[in-house]
Structure 1
Amino acid sequence: MFLCCGDSLFDVFAETGEDVSRIDLQARIGGSALNAALGLARLGHPVAFFGKISNDLYGRQLRAFMAAESIDQSFLIPTGRNTTLAMVSLSAAGVPQYSFYTEGTADRSVVPDEVPEALAPEVAAIHIGGSYTTVSEPTSLALSKLVAQEKDRLFISYDPNIRASIVPDLDVWRVKVAEFVASAALVKASDEDLAQLYPNREIADVLGEWVSLGASLAVCTRGEKGAMALSASGVSVSVDGVRVEVVDTVGAGDTFFAAMLSKLAEDGQMSREALAQFGRGDLEALIGFAVRAAAVTCGRRGADLPRRADLGLAPLAR
């Protein structure tokens, strides 16, 4: 089982028209960590979510959604705090811009004492969805505690997913990113993330630094240009993007990560030792599959991640 940890929220898409007295809103479930959980569930893998969930309208919808998508709720922590909302506006190219309503919200309020002392034996991997929960206290401390507790036993993956509009101090992000990278076997960030964190640095240099910190595999997604990856064994690849009519890119990076994790699990390669033995062909196959999966999400509204049939995959044997 995968355990996804981090943000869970509603993306609220705003549309304006000639009537300036109204804004039409459409809310869709999102959050980097929850999107990754959704992607894994839709690809047929057992997955649970760890975080606080509100008892407000949005929180009840989140629980119903998890039930409908077969995301295990055993690790959820109930709270009366409100659900995080992300107001989304789209550029002409479908690239989202976010304004967050996060003050005192549920997913930002997990405390270290609420981290389970021991995870169930069936949990084989922890995915940290990143975003504001990894730099906002107390949830950041709770996630750090969980990773420190389990990093020597479980496969850890991490997606920084920078949201500087919530925590503007990029030095805070840099410290936390370095901390989580050092504990993770697999790390993925977007070129936009890297441009914010490390302006004027080459992508390859950053990936090399992350590998030197401890990551077994470091990946950077580049939108329509595809993705780059570097393994701790020194193998590097660059995979082209897939042409698609873009509706929006919401959830594309989370799809990419879920696809990587899914393939590693199905190929029996979800370990540091396996990643260290990757050849160029192995790495190109992994990144290429993730690129194709992300392209499916780009052709849909919101974080509507693909199922196995969407990717031409047979059902997993049970």
Structure 2
Amino acid sequence: MFIRQDGGALGAEAVAGGSPYNVALGLARLDCPAAYWGGVSRDALGSFLLDSIARDGVDVSLVRRVANRTTLSVVATDAEGHPGYAFYGEGGADRALDPSDLPDLPPAAAAIAIGSYALAVEPIATAIEAMLERERGRVVVSLDPNLRPRVVGDVAAWRPRFERFVAGADIVKASTEDLGPLYGEDADIAAVARDWLALGPALVVFTRGPDGAVAFARSGVVVERPGRVVSVVDTVGAGDTFHAALLAWLARAGRLDRGALRELGEDEIAAVLDECIAASAITCSRRGADLPRRAEVEALMRREPPPGR
């Protein structure tokens, strides 16, 4: 729910979204087959969510419809387009699934994308852990903490569990904003990346807002790419766009594989970062989590090639 002030009154607009939901939508819009698994309410808002994502080609056959109400996220942006969130989700449908609700993944499934506060609230967090334990070694696991401290609560107490998720992942995509609550405001991203890579992932990527992104590979390769100049409307969904674009690029390049990820070279990493940054810039240029289509990203890359390559 987007809130905006209009004179002395508040206006509101309902928009379909949510971090894993946005990633599935982004993948489909980038012409990468995607399915969404999660709990969705049987209420009208739940139907709105499913109808919205299905129209863009996301497979919703794994979704569990439940009696719980739809979680509401209230979003208000500041003058620079940076969002502030308030979540109304206690007992919500997106939290309601437990390990008994795990679906059988399609044989063609190549990756699982997980993240945000679902990693910290029950029973869904335990269900996600069970899924990773069951699927470890069969598919690529990509993790975006997309940290929401107000929902997580005691972040320091949750950090060991989060690091178990890191250990089960092949890719970790995070923002530098995630690091403060986890490791302190002075956390060094290179040191954090080394620690995470030591736990198991092949690739760790940090987004840095207007400053672009930096990737750390298990091979020791470090690649930094600059951001793009963009007229920001708001940044809602920019991180989810980056995550979707990362997975879509790897799938198209034949690199969405646990072994292939460990062989990524510097040029490949630079190319994927540039495309992810371009996709995120498009999302920032329009209101709400309106993720781009592949043709839009390719057009921007042709019109404004990435600098320095």
Question: TM-score per shorter chain, which class?
Answer: over 0.9
Q: Secondary structure at the match of 2:36?
A: strand
Partner of 1:41: 28
Check whether the contact 1:185–1:271 (CA below 8 A) recurs between aligned residues.
no
> 1:2-13, aligned counterparts within 5 Å?
12-13=1-2
Ranges in structure 2 where 5+ consecutive residues have no aligned partner: 300-309
Partner of 2:303: none
- Structure with higher strand content: 1
| TM-score, scaled relative to structure 2 | 0.94
Q: Secondary structure at the match of 1:293?
A: helix
Check whether the contact 2:110–2:256 (CA below 8 A) recurs between aligned residues.
no
- Stretch deviating more after TM superposition (133-142 or 277-286): 277-286
CA distance in 2 between partners of 1:289 and 1:92 (Å): 27
Partner of 2:197: 211
Partner of 1:3: none
Q: Secondary structure at the match of 2:38?
A: strand
1:223 aligns with 2:209: yes
Structure 1 residue runs of 4 or more that deviate by more than 6 Å after TM superposition:
none
Partner of 1:269: 255
1:14 aligns with 2:13: no
- Stretch deviating more after TM superposition (284-293 or 137-146): 284-293
| TM-score, scaled relative to structure 1 | 0.91
Ranges in structure 1 where 5+ consecutive residues have no aligned partner: 1-11, 314-318
Check whether the contact 1:115–1:142 (CA below 8 A) recurs between aligned residues.
yes
Partner of 1:138: 123
Task: Read off the aligned partner of 1:92 and give its amino acid letter.
Answer: A
Partner of 1:247: 233
Matching residue within 241, 257, 279 for 1:293: 279
Task: Read off the aligned partner of 2:199 and give its amino acid letter.
Answer: L
Shift of 1:188: 0.5
Q: Secondary structure at the match of 2:215?
A: strand
Shift of 1:190: 0.5
Shift of 1:111: 0.9
Partner of 1:60: 47
1:196 aligns with 2:196: no
Identity %: 44
CA RMSD of aligned residues (A): 1.1
CA distance in 2 between partners of 1:18 and 1:288 (Å): 40
Deviations 1:262-300 (CA, angstroms, capped at 9, x unpaired) = 010000011222121122111111111111111010001
Q: Secondary structure at the match of 2:35?
A: strand
CA distance in 2 between partners of 1:168 and 1:195 (Å): 14
Q: Secondary structure at the match of 2:48?
A: helix
1:83 aligns with 2:70: yes
Deviations 1:125-149 (CA, angstroms, capped at 9, x unpaired) = 1111x11111101000000000110
Q: How many residues align?
A: 298
Shift of 1:66: 2.0
Matching residue within 288, 303, 306 for 1:302: 288
CA distance in 1 between partners of 2:96 and 2:129 (Å): 14
Deviations 1:148-174 (CA, angstroms, capped at 9, x unpaired) = 100111111110110011122112431
Shift of 1:23: 2.0
Task: Read off the aligned partner of 2:34 and give its amino acid letter.
Answer: V
Partner of 1:179: 164
Check whether the contact 1:127–1:158 (CA below 8 A) recurs between aligned residues.
yes
**Distance of aligned partners of 1:172 and 1:57 in 2 relative to their CA distance in 1, 3 Å threshold:** farther
Partner of 2:97: 110
CA distance in 2 between partners of 1:245 and 1:179 (Å): 38
- Structure with higher helix content: 2
Check whether the contact 2:211–2:226 (CA below 8 A) recurs between aligned residues.
yes
